[in-house]
Every structure is written in structure tokens, then in C-alpha cells.
Structure 1
Amino acid sequence: MTVGAPGDRVVVRYAKGEGAPGDWRRDPSATRSDVTGTLVSVDADAIVVDRDGERITVPGDLVLAVRVLPDRAVRTSEIRELEAAAAHGWPGTDRETVDGWLLRAGGGYTRRANSAVPLSFGARADVAILSVIRRWYDDHGLPPLVTVPDRVLPPGTPADGVPQIRVVAMTRDIPAGPRHVAVPVDLSPTPSDAWSETVIGRRDEVVDRAVAVDVLRSVVDGTLLFASVVVDGVVVATGRGAITRSAEAAAPWLGLSCLWTHPDHRGRGIGSAVITTLMHAARGTGCRRTYLQVEQDNVAAIRLYRRLGFARHHGYGYVLL
């Protein structure tokens, strides 16, 4: 069950019982109810939600479902637009478009570069197209993994299964004006060997290094920026910016990824400096909005990005066919 992270807007559906909040409809015959608000905390014992300044506690054994809401109303077309720009910013090294789906392969390096994603309006997820997807990934020696964004596919389709992992897409506007950073950040249109080794070495995948570098350097009709902070000759922070569009006439997005700061250097504003530098550089090209993607369970990162002005846009899951 997707629960969300503190700060998320949620709807908690619960069964009536001992310790349950009062039913907001004041219906004595109701066997279940719900509460909508901002998630404060969650554990096995209870979920706490702030509803208009009032903290509501729902016992864990009464919780039936939790639905995470975007921080603002988001149209399905906006989800599709952002997903298309993000797919162009992380397209893998081999790709093919089939019936509104983008099929991506990248030698097994990262889920994003090795999954199919529905991008076009009306993209289906019926048995026929999913069979094509399975064959395509089998030909590439990869598992048939699909990215399922919220609301883009009809519920109940064969691709609407239990996700292996849930991801949150968060967005914010890129501010105007001069940048203020705590440390110098180096920017380059290509990744240095040290940058690549740092990023690739942090992941568990056993992949060919050259293939992984190709994935990191791949973009569709866009521009890449590689940020790093070096202390005493060692890379202690990284970031990747991909400036792409969902379509030729659409406004560009800056996609942030590979955001990392060495544990010994955290808490000094280095990570914020990397993000600020990438946003400032992207704004100079006419880009006005940015996004990043973070795993739903990475609560610490979500909290950090909220403090930096990012808000939840939508979610998606990776489903193995």
C-alpha cells in the first residue's frame, strides 16, 4: 500500500472501530470513513494527518487505503507532458516508439533507461501491445519492465499491476535573479571520468562501464549539463541536468538527476548549490521549470526537496510484465 511521505496531501480511508476518528458525515450507520489532509507521520501503529490545523490520528489496524494527492490540481495532460520530457532526458541507448509507447534499453543500467513508458494520448495497454513490449525486451536480453504514470493508463489494464517500486515526480519553477551558492560548482556539457566513476560506482548494477556512460550521456533533442563539486581533488557532489521538451513546440523542462553529496560533506549546502547552479544555467537557455524524480520510500530526500521548493506533481510505478 502506497502511504506517502510526511508533507504529502493524502486521503486516508479507514474502518470504523475503537479509536477511529469520528465520521465527518456524522452517519451512525457508516462502517468506514476517510480523512483528507497533510501527512504528519506514519508507522505500524497509526497514521497522523493534519486537517486544517487539527491533527487526526487513525489507528494502523483500521487503515484500509491511503491515496497520495498532488500538491496542486494536475491534469492528466500535464502528467503526460512531464513524462515525455523526462523520457527524452533519460532515453537509454536504444529506443523505439510503438503505438504511443517509448521502449528504452540501456544495457540494464537504471530502471528508467530500461523500461517502456506510455507517452501519447490514447496509448493502449492491451494484450497485443504488451506482447510487443515483451518481445522487444526479450530481444534486448532485458526483463519487460514498464513505467506506469498515474492516470495515464486506464485502471484494470494488464500493465496496471503491483509496482516493484513507486516514484514521486516533484516540480518547481526556476527562480529569476542571481544565484547564491555556498560553494563553487563546476559545470560541463560532458561528464568527466571522475564524475562518471562517482555516479556509476554508487549503484548496485553490474553493468559495462562504457554502456553506463553512454546512458548518462544520452538525450533526445536536448542539452545536458553535468555538475560537480571537487574538494582536494575528490568529487564530493554530483548532479545532472537535462533540458528537454515533450514536443517540438512545448516549453522546455530541466530534469535533475544523479543528485548526490558525499556523507562527510552533507549539511553544508553543497547539494543545494548543485541544484541552484543547474537551475541558473538552465534559465539562461530559456528554461523556466524543473523536475526531479525520487523513490517514494526515500522520505529524507522528499523532505529535503520540499524545503528547496519542490512540490509533488504525480507518481508512477515500475511494473514487471
Structure 2
Amino acid sequence: MPPPPAGVGSRVSLRYRLPESGAEAFTDVVGHLEALSPVVVVRTKSGELVEINPTDVVSVRELSHAPVRNSQIRAVEHAAALAWPGNEHQWLDGWLLRAAGGAGKAANSAVPLLFSSDLSALSAIAQWYGARGLPPWLALPERLLPVRADGVDPHRVLTVALSGDLDVTLPPLPDDRWLQISGRDVPVEVLSAVIDGDVGFATVADAAVGRVAVTTAPDGTKWAGLSEVTVRSDRRRQGHGRALCDVLLAWAAARGATHAYAQVPDDNAAANGLAESMGFRLHHRARYVLL
């Protein structure tokens, strides 16, 4: 069996060999993984449990935890783009172009956010970034535009509904200790930038730091975006990351956020594990592509 892209509980499309067929015949099943051993068990939307011998599994592809419309992907990506606008941004034919002197791809990429976004703008996007001495990165959510290029830094966008009324006070700027623990070379003016929203910075037990931004999607939903979550290497596996995220999300919920998202690299097992342990589930995938 190929290594599953996610663990038990994830929603997948699984292709497997039909063991009773005389020839090589295959079929697919879509549902939630209930077990991986001794047999693979997938629970379909109707509640049927499909049992499959692991040796018959040909491929496994992780899907969003529940079916997601393109408009819902745009809504989350819109809120996320407002949370990382860089220190310069501009709308161009439905794309939001962001520049921050090269300090990370999130604040130095163009993202298609409107239905009018199409590939005709790519030349102008390349010129805009070229005039600023920056590489023309595109932040591409899955399914929205068919740009053919090798993906760079593919990541998962995970979401969760928020609840709770605990009020927490966070500063709108990172202090020197926050910057030291973070270790990232991102200017304060880029870290603190947000469009029509609020941003806060937390430090927990002198061991973990993180950033949260509350912005509003076009449908009116207030989203909390977690980012820059860092735990000191000598203080990991002690619960500080979870405690930090709890503080950040409590602050966001007190400011009206009803949902939260986290953009996590595919290959960051620790970050994906932490997010999923807190109830975050896959909403969609995205990737950075260089023009």
C-alpha cells in the first residue's frame, strides 16, 4: 500500500485492485479512513464500510475533509491574503499582488481572488515584480487556475470552527524577545501589516511565539490566520506549541473570528500533527509557482 497522505479520520479517494477479478481491474472509493491495518477501512458518505487488503491499494489521494466549493476556497484565500499584504500591494485584474522586499513568499506573491482572475494578467504580474527586483511568485489555490508549472512549497490549508469567550490581550507588534525566538528575518512592518483587520503576537513560557491575524472574507466570515508559530528547539514536545495556539485563537475569537485557518507545508509533519490534534482539517491545497 502507498503511504497514506494523512492518518485515520482523513477523507480520501482510494483506488484499489478488485481481488475477485480475473484480469487487472480497479475501482475507486471516496470516504473517510477508519483504519489502516490489518485491513484498510473506508467509510463512504452513505455509511458503508469498505474493507480493502492493503496490498490491493494502488493509490491514495487526500481530499478536503468535506466537499468544498471554489467560492469557499476563494473566501479563505481572500482572508489569508489580507492577513499578509506585505508593505506594498495592488489589485490587478482580480489578482492581489503583494511585495515585501523578498521576506517570505506569503507577502511576496500574487494570488487570484476574484472570479475575473485569469491567465491574461501573468505578463503584467511578471512586470510588476520585475520593476521591484523580485521574482514573480504566484500563490495558487487548487482548482482555481490551470497554471502548468512545477509546484514549489506545496502546502495544505487547514480550517477549524472557533468557540469560546476567553479574552486575551496581545500586543500588535512583536517585541525583541519574540523576534529572537522566531529567528526569521522578516521586518516588523511586514509582520504587523494587515488589511482591514487586527494582528496580535504571543509569547508563551519564553519557549514559543506566534502571530495571528483576524480578517474578513467577502462573505462576511471573520477568519483567524495562524502563522509564524515557532517553538525553541530545546523546549519542543512539552506542549508549548499547543498552549501558544490556544492563546492566539482565544484572542481571535474575542475579536469576532468564527473560523481559523493554518497554511502548513506538506512536509512539516510536526505542524500538521499539531493542527490536526486541535481539530483543524484539510480545506484545500495550494502551491507557490514561479513564473
TM-score (norm 1): 0.78
Identity %: 39
Q: Secondary structure at the match of 2:203?
A: strand
List runs of 5+ in structure 2 lacking aligned partners: 44-48
Task: Please tell me whether the aligned partners of residues 226 and 240 of structure 1 are also in contact (alpha carbons under 8 angstroms).
Answer: yes
SS at match of 1:113: coil
Match of 1:193 among 176, 183, 186: 176
When the two chains are superposed, the root-mean-square deviation of aligned CA atoms in Å is 2.8
Of residues 241, 246, 250 in structure 1, which corresponds to 2:212? 241
Residue 212, structure 1, aligned to residue 190, structure 2:
no
Query: In the alignment, does 2:26 pair up with 1:22?
Result: no
SS in 1 for 2:207: strand
| Map of 2:46 onto structure 1 | none
What CA deviation, in whole Å up to 9, does each residue of 1:192-249 have, x standing for no partner?
02212332x2x4xxxxx5x62221111111100100024xxxx3100101010123x6
- Residue 214 of structure 2 aligns to a residue whose secondary structure is strand
Counterpart Cα distance in 1 of 2:169 and 2:231: 14
* CA deviation after TM superposition for structure 1 residue 92, in Å: 1.1
- Could you say which residue in structure 2 is the equivalent of 1:57? 54
Q: Which amino acid aligns with 2:203?
A: S
Equivalent-residue separation in structure 2 for 1:9 and 1:160 (angstroms): 26
Contact kept, 8 Å, 1:86 with 1:244, in 2: the verdict is yes
The CA deviation at 1:177 is 4.6
- 2:132 is the alignment partner of 1:140: yes
Paired amino acid for 2:85: P
Q: Distance in 2 between matches of 1:93 and 1:236?
A: 29
The answer for the alignment partner of 1:223 in structure 2 is 198
User: How do residues 18-167 of structure 1 correspond to structure 2 at under 5 angstroms?
Assistant: 21-22=17-18, 31-38=25-32, 49-52=40-43, 54=51, 56-58=53-55, 63=58, 66-125=60-119, 128-153=120-145, 155=146, 159-167=147-155
Alpha-carbon displacement from aligned partner over 1:88-113 (angstroms, at most 9, x marks no partner): 00111111110000111111111111
SS at match of 1:6: coil
Distance 1:110 1:149 in 2: 17
3-state SS of 2:125 partner: helix
Corresponding letter in the other structure for 1:285? R
Name the CA shift for 1:215/1:287 in 2 (closer, same or farther; >3 Å): same
Question: Is 2:7 aligned against 1:6?
Answer: yes
Task: Select 2:265's aligned residue among 282, 295, 298.
Answer: 295
**What's the CA shift for 1:31?**
4.6
Distance in 1, matches of 2:148 and 2:72, equals 20
Residues 43-63 of structure 1, C-alpha deviation per residue, up to 9 Å, x if partnerless?
A: xxxxx854236354257xx84
**Gaps in structure 1 of 5+ consecutive residues:** 15-20, 43-47, 180-184, 204-208
Which of 87-96 and 26-35 deviates more?
Answer: 26-35
Q: Distance in 2 between matches of 1:66 and 1:241?
A: 33
Hey, what's the Cα distance between the residues in 2 that align with 1:50 and 1:319? 36
| Residue 311 in structure 1 maps to residue 281 in structure 2 | yes
| One-letter amino acid matched to 1:224 | V
Count of residue pairs the alignment pairs up: 281
2:225, 2:53 → 1: CA distance? 36
Q: Secondary structure at the match of 1:131?
A: helix
* Contact 2:33 2:42 survives alignment (8 Å): no
Is residue 261 of structure 1 aligned with residue 244 of structure 2? no
Counterpart Cα distance in 1 of 2:11 and 2:40:
9
Shift of 1:149: 0.4
